[in-house]
Amino acid sequence: NAGVTQTPKFQVLKTGQSMTLQCAQDMNHNSMYWYRQDPGMGLRLIYYSASEGTTDKGEVPNGYNVSRLNKREFSLRLESAAPSQTSVYFCASRARGTTYEQYFGPGTRLTVT
Amino acid sequence: AQKITQTQPGMFVQEKEAVTLDCTYDTSDPSYGLFWYKQPSSGEMIFLIYQGSYDQQNATEGRYSLNFQKARKSANLVISASQLGDSAMYFCAMREGLRGAGANSKLTFGKGITLSVRP
Protein backbone atom coordinates (compact mmCIF):
# COMPACT_ATOMS: atom_id res chain seq x y z
CA ASN A 1 0.00 0.00 0.00
CA ALA A 2 1.87 3.06 -1.28
CA GLY A 3 -0.49 5.74 0.17
CA VAL A 4 0.11 9.09 -1.53
CA THR A 5 2.91 9.28 -4.08
CA GLN A 6 4.36 12.37 -5.74
CA THR A 7 6.69 12.83 -8.67
CA PRO A 8 9.22 14.25 -9.07
CA LYS A 9 10.96 14.54 -5.68
CA PHE A 10 13.16 17.42 -6.80
CA GLN A 11 13.00 19.82 -9.72
CA VAL A 12 14.89 22.90 -10.85
CA LEU A 13 13.23 25.17 -13.38
CA LYS A 14 14.22 28.37 -15.09
CA THR A 15 11.86 31.34 -14.90
CA GLY A 16 9.15 30.98 -17.51
CA GLN A 17 9.38 27.22 -17.89
CA SER A 18 6.36 25.03 -17.26
CA MET A 19 5.96 21.74 -15.48
CA THR A 20 3.38 19.43 -13.97
CA LEU A 21 3.64 17.88 -10.53
CA GLN A 22 1.99 14.49 -10.33
CA CYS A 23 0.12 13.03 -7.37
CA ALA A 24 -1.62 9.69 -6.97
CA GLN A 25 -3.28 7.93 -4.05
CA ASP A 26 -4.32 4.32 -3.74
CA MET A 27 -6.57 4.65 -0.69
CA ASN A 28 -9.81 5.29 -2.60
CA HIS A 29 -10.10 8.76 -1.07
CA ASN A 30 -12.54 11.22 -2.59
CA SER A 31 -10.79 14.47 -1.66
CA MET A 32 -7.32 15.55 -2.71
CA TYR A 33 -5.27 18.67 -2.02
CA TRP A 34 -2.20 20.61 -3.08
CA TYR A 35 -0.24 22.66 -0.54
CA ARG A 36 2.94 24.66 -0.63
CA GLN A 37 5.28 25.01 2.32
CA ASP A 38 7.58 27.99 2.67
CA PRO A 39 9.92 28.72 5.59
CA GLY A 40 8.06 30.32 8.49
CA MET A 41 4.71 30.11 6.67
CA GLY A 42 3.40 26.68 7.49
CA LEU A 43 1.40 24.94 4.77
CA ARG A 44 -0.89 26.93 2.52
CA LEU A 45 -3.59 25.41 0.36
CA ILE A 46 -3.23 26.00 -3.37
CA TYR A 47 -6.14 23.99 -4.81
CA TYR A 48 -8.28 21.13 -3.72
CA SER A 49 -10.67 18.62 -5.23
CA ALA A 50 -13.53 17.52 -3.00
CA SER A 51 -14.44 14.74 -5.40
CA GLU A 52 -13.66 13.45 -8.86
CA GLY A 53 -14.65 16.06 -11.43
CA THR A 54 -14.52 19.07 -9.12
CA THR A 55 -11.72 21.47 -8.22
CA ASP A 56 -11.67 24.63 -6.11
CA LYS A 57 -9.21 27.37 -5.31
CA GLY A 58 -7.49 27.49 -1.98
CA GLU A 59 -5.61 30.29 -0.28
CA VAL A 60 -2.85 30.82 -2.88
CA PRO A 61 -4.05 29.63 -6.34
CA ASN A 62 -2.45 32.32 -8.55
CA GLY A 63 0.05 30.92 -11.02
CA TYR A 64 -1.22 27.35 -10.76
CA ASN A 65 -3.73 25.09 -12.44
CA VAL A 66 -4.92 21.65 -11.42
CA SER A 67 -6.50 18.62 -13.02
CA ARG A 68 -8.34 15.84 -11.25
CA LEU A 69 -7.63 13.21 -13.85
CA ASN A 70 -9.58 10.46 -12.10
CA LYS A 71 -10.27 9.43 -8.52
CA ARG A 72 -6.63 8.45 -7.96
CA GLU A 73 -4.74 11.30 -9.61
CA PHE A 74 -4.55 15.05 -9.01
CA SER A 75 -1.92 17.06 -10.86
CA LEU A 76 -0.62 20.59 -10.31
CA ARG A 77 0.66 22.62 -13.25
CA LEU A 78 2.87 25.68 -13.28
CA GLU A 79 2.40 27.30 -16.69
CA SER A 80 5.16 29.92 -16.38
CA ALA A 81 7.30 29.35 -13.32
CA ALA A 82 8.45 32.31 -11.23
CA PRO A 83 11.09 32.47 -8.47
CA SER A 84 8.25 33.13 -5.98
CA GLN A 85 7.06 29.59 -6.68
CA THR A 86 10.22 28.12 -5.20
CA SER A 87 8.79 25.97 -2.44
CA VAL A 88 8.09 22.46 -1.22
CA TYR A 89 4.83 21.13 -2.64
CA PHE A 90 2.74 18.56 -0.85
CA CYS A 91 -0.16 16.56 -2.15
CA ALA A 92 -2.65 15.10 0.33
CA SER A 93 -5.81 13.04 0.31
CA ARG A 94 -8.54 12.77 2.89
CA ALA A 95 -10.11 9.77 4.44
CA ARG A 96 -13.82 9.34 4.97
CA GLY A 97 -14.92 8.99 8.55
CA THR A 98 -15.19 11.03 11.66
CA THR A 99 -11.62 12.21 12.02
CA TYR A 100 -11.17 13.66 8.53
CA GLU A 101 -7.37 13.53 8.70
CA GLN A 102 -5.40 14.14 5.55
CA TYR A 103 -2.62 11.84 4.43
CA PHE A 104 0.35 13.51 2.80
CA GLY A 105 2.75 12.55 0.06
CA PRO A 106 6.52 12.91 0.53
CA GLY A 107 6.67 16.34 -1.15
CA THR A 108 8.36 17.86 -4.19
CA ARG A 109 11.13 20.39 -3.66
CA LEU A 110 10.94 22.91 -6.50
CA THR A 111 13.50 25.61 -7.19
CA VAL A 112 12.88 28.29 -9.81
CA THR A 113 15.94 30.26 -10.85
CA ALA B 1 -6.86 37.47 12.11
CA GLN B 2 -4.92 34.24 11.95
CA LYS B 3 -7.07 31.17 12.30
CA ILE B 4 -4.31 29.08 13.87
CA THR B 5 -1.64 30.63 16.05
CA GLN B 6 1.52 28.89 17.17
CA THR B 7 3.75 31.48 18.80
CA GLN B 8 6.32 29.46 20.72
CA PRO B 9 9.83 29.81 19.39
CA GLY B 10 11.96 26.70 19.21
CA MET B 11 11.18 24.40 22.13
CA PHE B 12 13.67 22.23 23.97
CA VAL B 13 12.93 19.28 26.24
CA GLN B 14 15.03 16.74 28.04
CA GLU B 15 14.61 13.14 26.95
CA LYS B 16 11.95 11.30 28.97
CA GLU B 17 10.29 14.52 30.13
CA ALA B 18 6.88 15.78 29.02
CA VAL B 19 6.44 18.83 26.81
CA THR B 20 3.45 20.96 25.81
CA LEU B 21 3.20 22.63 22.42
CA ASP B 22 0.71 25.50 22.29
CA CYS B 23 -1.96 26.14 19.71
CA THR B 24 -4.77 28.68 19.76
CA TYR B 25 -7.42 28.94 17.09
CA ASP B 26 -10.08 31.34 15.92
CA THR B 27 -13.42 30.31 14.46
CA SER B 28 -17.06 31.23 14.78
CA ASP B 29 -18.17 27.86 13.44
CA PRO B 30 -19.52 25.58 16.20
CA SER B 31 -18.46 22.48 14.27
CA TYR B 32 -14.74 22.11 13.67
CA GLY B 33 -11.84 19.74 14.08
CA LEU B 34 -8.30 20.27 15.28
CA PHE B 35 -5.31 18.27 14.12
CA TRP B 36 -1.66 17.96 14.98
CA TYR B 37 0.94 16.88 12.45
CA LYS B 38 4.63 16.10 12.89
CA GLN B 39 7.24 16.93 10.27
CA PRO B 40 10.66 15.38 10.96
CA SER B 41 13.77 16.57 9.17
CA SER B 42 13.09 14.06 6.40
CA GLY B 43 10.16 16.25 5.39
CA GLU B 44 7.09 14.02 5.44
CA MET B 45 3.93 15.12 7.25
CA ILE B 46 2.72 12.62 9.82
CA PHE B 47 -0.77 12.81 11.34
CA LEU B 48 -0.65 12.55 15.14
CA ILE B 49 -3.99 13.31 16.75
CA TYR B 50 -7.45 14.74 16.18
CA GLN B 51 -9.98 16.54 18.38
CA GLY B 52 -13.52 17.34 17.30
CA SER B 53 -15.29 20.37 18.70
CA TYR B 54 -18.11 18.23 20.03
CA ASP B 55 -15.90 15.57 21.56
CA GLN B 56 -16.53 15.32 25.27
CA GLN B 57 -13.10 14.00 26.18
CA ASN B 58 -9.61 15.11 25.30
CA ALA B 59 -8.08 13.00 22.55
CA THR B 60 -5.20 10.66 23.32
CA GLU B 61 -3.01 8.56 21.02
CA GLY B 62 -0.22 6.71 22.77
CA ARG B 63 2.23 9.30 24.12
CA TYR B 64 0.27 12.14 22.52
CA SER B 65 -2.64 13.86 24.15
CA LEU B 66 -4.52 16.98 23.28
CA ASN B 67 -5.38 19.48 26.02
CA PHE B 68 -8.55 20.92 24.51
CA GLN B 69 -9.90 24.04 26.22
CA LYS B 70 -12.86 25.11 24.12
CA ALA B 71 -13.67 28.32 25.98
CA ARG B 72 -10.08 29.49 25.62
CA LYS B 73 -9.92 28.23 22.01
CA SER B 74 -6.75 26.34 22.69
CA ALA B 75 -5.70 22.86 21.61
CA ASN B 76 -2.29 22.18 23.06
CA LEU B 77 -0.37 19.02 22.23
CA VAL B 78 1.20 17.19 25.15
CA ILE B 79 3.96 14.69 24.43
CA SER B 80 4.79 12.49 27.39
CA ALA B 81 8.12 10.74 27.94
CA SER B 82 9.90 12.55 25.09
CA GLN B 83 12.16 10.54 22.83
CA LEU B 84 15.00 11.67 20.59
CA GLY B 85 12.84 10.76 17.60
CA ASP B 86 10.29 13.38 18.67
CA SER B 87 12.65 16.12 17.47
CA ALA B 88 10.71 17.66 14.60
CA MET B 89 8.47 20.52 13.57
CA TYR B 90 4.90 20.27 14.81
CA PHE B 91 1.92 21.83 13.08
CA CYS B 92 -1.52 22.53 14.46
CA ALA B 93 -4.34 22.67 11.89
CA MET B 94 -8.09 23.25 11.86
CA ARG B 95 -10.95 22.16 9.66
CA GLU B 96 -14.15 24.17 9.94
CA GLY B 97 -17.68 23.27 8.98
CA LEU B 98 -17.63 19.57 9.70
CA ARG B 99 -21.37 19.26 9.36
CA GLY B 100 -24.03 20.37 6.93
CA ALA B 101 -24.27 20.88 3.22
CA GLY B 102 -21.57 23.53 3.31
CA ALA B 103 -19.04 21.20 4.88
CA ASN B 104 -15.59 22.63 4.31
CA SER B 105 -12.95 20.07 3.52
CA LYS B 106 -9.98 22.43 3.81
CA LEU B 107 -7.33 22.46 6.53
CA THR B 108 -5.77 25.68 7.77
CA PHE B 109 -2.31 25.25 9.25
CA GLY B 110 -0.35 27.20 11.80
CA LYS B 111 3.25 28.18 11.16
CA GLY B 112 4.64 25.34 13.25
CA ILE B 113 6.84 24.86 16.30
CA THR B 114 10.27 23.27 16.27
CA LEU B 115 10.87 20.80 19.08
CA SER B 116 14.33 19.58 19.97
CA VAL B 117 14.77 16.70 22.41
CA ARG B 118 18.04 16.71 24.32
CA PRO B 119 19.66 13.41 25.40
pLDDT digits (tens, 9 = 90+) for B49-79: 999 999 989 999 999 999 999 999 999 999 9
Question: Which chain A residues touch B47 with a CB distance below 8 Å?
Answer: 101-103
Secondary structure E strands in chain A? 4-7, 10-13, 19-25, 31-38, 42-49, 56-57, 64-68, 74-78, 87-94, 102-104, 108-112
At A8 the pLDDT is 96
pLDDT tier for residue A98 given thresholds of 50, 70 and 90: low
Reference B111, options B91, B88, B83, B96; nearest CA is B91
Find the mean pLDDT for residues B32-40: 95
Dist CA B44 CA A34 (whole Å): 14
Contacts of A38 in chain B (CB under 8 A): none
Residues on chain A touching B37 (C-beta within 8 angstroms): 104
**Confidence (pLDDT) at B2:** 76
Higher pLDDT, A94 or A111: A111
> CA–CA separation, A105 vs A108, rounded Å?
9
pLDDT at B103: 52
Asked if the model's pLDDT at residue A23 lies above 80, the reply is yes
pLDDT > 50? residue B110: yes
Q: pLDDT tens digits, residue range A34-92?
A: 999 998 888 999 999 988 889 999 999 999 999 998 999 999 999 999 999 999 999 99
Q: Do the Cβ atoms of B105 and A50 come within 8 Å? A: yes
Query: How close does chain B come to A7, measured CA to CA in Å?
Result: 14
Contact B28, B94 (CB under 8 A): no
Phi, psi of B16 (to 5 degrees): 80, -5
Give residue ranges of A with CB < 8 Å to any B CB. 31, 33, 35, 40-45, 48, 50, 58, 88, 90, 92, 94, 98-104, 106-107
pLDDT for residue A7 is more than 90:
yes
